Amino acid sequence: MSIDNTLPASGDAARERVADRELVTIYEISKILTAPLDFHTGARQLLAVLTAHLGMRHGLIALVQGDGRLHVFGATGAVFAGSPAVLDADQGLFGQVLKSNSPVVVPDIAREPLFVGQDRQGRDGVALLAVPIRDGRRAIGLLSVDRPPEDNRPVRYERDVRILTLVANLLGQSWRLHRKIAEEREAHRQETRRLKTQLKGRYRVDNVVGMSKRMQEVLADVHQAAPGHATVLLRGESGTGKEAIAHAIHYLSPRAKSPFVKVNCAALPETLLESELFGHEKGAFTGATSERKGRFELAEGGTLFLDEIGDITPTFQAKLLRVLQEHEFERVGGNKTLKADFRLVAATNRNLEEMVQKGEFRADLYFRLNVVTLFLPALRERKDDIPLLVEHFLARFNKDNDRAVALEAEAMDLLLHCNWPGNVRELQNCIERAATMTRSDHIRADDLRCFKGQCFSSMLLNAEQNRCTPGGSFLAPPHPAGQPSAPPTFPIAMPPRHHPAAPKNGDDRDDGEFPPAGDGGIAGIPEREQLVAAMEKCGWVQAKAARLLNLTPRQIGYALKKHRIPVKRL
């Protein structure tokens, strides 16, 4: 049923019903235009709402594109459904709307000379209303609907024109937003292509994503060390990609056609680890029903990767030392000496130098492992690689799940401001979680946990840093890149922590690293009274308080914990 625009002045109740229906219509349309839909889908749903709520029979939404012609983005009804997808923007009624930049009302289409032939068929007494869609003051398209006759009563169209003008304004704002997002996405794609072009001629490894200066230094060292036979020790935080680098060393070496065998030393107790590496003879222990080759034998001619080597016990360290020195060993329960030709690549996230000083790691094994040492940077030290990593993880997710999920610019900006204590592994999990849970094909900022204050990785980072010796960490090389270092003396001191240059403005602040509760204030973080006042003003909604104080939701969440402020549930 359509709106009765001929109500008498005394029909207050009827006018209220009409106003309520119009308000509901605008509300439903605003929900459609703010939903994460493509513009074509939103336009079609909008016309369906106008038809259902306001009784407008036919509808058309068209926008002027780069070729200067009107492109139809949505159409409903028997008349417009068969219209061509591209219309002339200079001729007819639609051209008149665009040129005048004002609404046009045709009370009876059958009597309008601008409509001929099929345009008039079945439309006796039907009115047509067309309003411009504007970008600022300029008409960029139009919204057109049909109004069927109202029981032979005279109809005033002022109310319809006002409603359609409001809807057209919402359409114009939505189109600007979609166009901005598309432009940002295209700029991101071009930047990614530019970065990939820059990679040509640089050091590259197929299974490693990274073009930042720090990663290029690592990949240069990988290409330099891979052709040799020396033992390689990979150092870095958990999740920095040590296993991927180990694979790269193997496949860039002359041993690439031979096996790559890996063992996680932290995943097995000492007795099982010994059997796993050395193998065992039949009857060596309960359950040893047959002879079994160990990983040293299986890696014959290839590469053996020992991950988390800093977690092996002192007893097993002595057994491992002989194998690394002589490449000779005996199976568990056997007395025959076997030889194996393998290249060792080891990895650890532990501070071996500190362990040597405490007597927890053998010094001779340390020097045997510390031949070629590669330090892998944490993700927070190579944030230039985050866009490439995100694209890589999304491409893998889309391929595995047959989807086409993309990341919006605001979400990317949020990712670039995180510290990522879990490094590349944490970023991968974050992208996979957001892509899985988003209800559209776009990952927005509010799809990420840190936007909602539900990510506590910055506190994990601080806890990890507090476990280290003050002023030092084994994760960074002892001297800046390009500067020679003097040979270490024993006992070995921990290399100093790498400190990146301090940010010069608030936009580049490292928003996850704050002092623990009880420390003095820090620039940009509000004092307790200011924070409580902001939270009270915003109804204890952390995202609103963050915008009020020009902070990120992560910072607000940490500041609340720093000052031990309980969050009120209103």
Model pLDDT, residue 434: 92
- Last residue of some domain: 377, 398, 432? 377
What Å distances lie between residue 285 and 279, 289, 312, 319, 320, CA to CA? 12, 9, 22, 19, 21
Model pLDDT, residue 498: 39
Domain match, 227 and 162 both: no
Which pLDDT band, with edges at 50, 70 and 90, does 232 fall under?
very high
Structural domain boundaries, residue 307:
213-377
Q: Regarding predicted confidence, which is higher, 105 or 12?
A: 105
Residues 314-345 pLDDT 10s: 888 988 888 888 888 888 888 888 888 999 99
Model pLDDT, residue 234: 96
What is the number of structural domains in the chain? 3
d(CA 41, CA 174): 12
146 token code pair: 């049909």
Domain match, 243 and 369 both: yes
- Last residue of some domain: 354, 377, 400? 377
CATH number where 523 lies: 1.10.10.60
Domain match, 302 and 242 both: yes
d(CA 57, CA 81): 12
- State the pTM of this model: 0.52
Which pLDDT band, with edges at 50, 70 and 90, does 371 fall under?
very high
Domain match, 150 and 253 both: no
Residue of 41, 45, 54 whose CA lies nearest to 145: 54
505 in any annotated domain: no
CATH number where 312 lies: 3.40.50.300
311 in any annotated domain: yes
pLDDT averaged over every residue in the chain: 78
Domain match, 162 and 219 both: no
CATH number where 34 lies: 3.30.450.40
d(CA 279, CA 282): 10
Residues 439-461 pLDDT 10s: 888 898 888 887 766 666 655 55
- Last residue of some domain: 361, 377, 393? 377
Burial class (CB in 10 A: 0-12, 13-18, 19+), 5: middle
What integer is the mean pLDDT of 461-473? 44
Domain match, 177 and 232 both: no
Asked whether the predicted pLDDT for residue 522 surpasses 50, the reply is no
Asked whether the predicted pLDDT for residue 489 surpasses 80, the reply is no
- According to DSSP, the β-strands at 279-280 and 104-106 are unpaired
Poorest-pLDDT segment among 194-208, 350-364, 499-513: 499-513
Asked if omega into 491 is within 30° of 0 (cis), the reply is yes
Query: Sign of the C-alpha dihedral, residues 158, 164, 167, 173?
Result: negative
Domain match, 129 and 260 both: no
Share of the chain above pLDDT 70, in %: 76
Asked whether the predicted pLDDT for residue 200 surpasses 80, the reply is no
480 in any annotated domain: no
Sequence letter at residue 352: L
d(CA 147, CA 107): 9
Domain match, 89 and 34 both: yes
Which pLDDT band, with edges at 50, 70 and 90, does 409 fall under?
confident
DSSP state of 109: G
219 in any annotated domain: yes
Domain match, 165 and 226 both: no
Domain match, 221 and 156 both: no
Domain match, 156 and 285 both: no
What Å distances lie between residue 356 and 352, 365, 472, 492, CA to CA? 6, 10, 16, 8
Domain match, 111 and 243 both: no
Model pLDDT, residue 257: 92
Residues 70-115 pLDDT 10s: 888 888 765 555 556 787 777 778 888 888 889 988 888 777 776 6
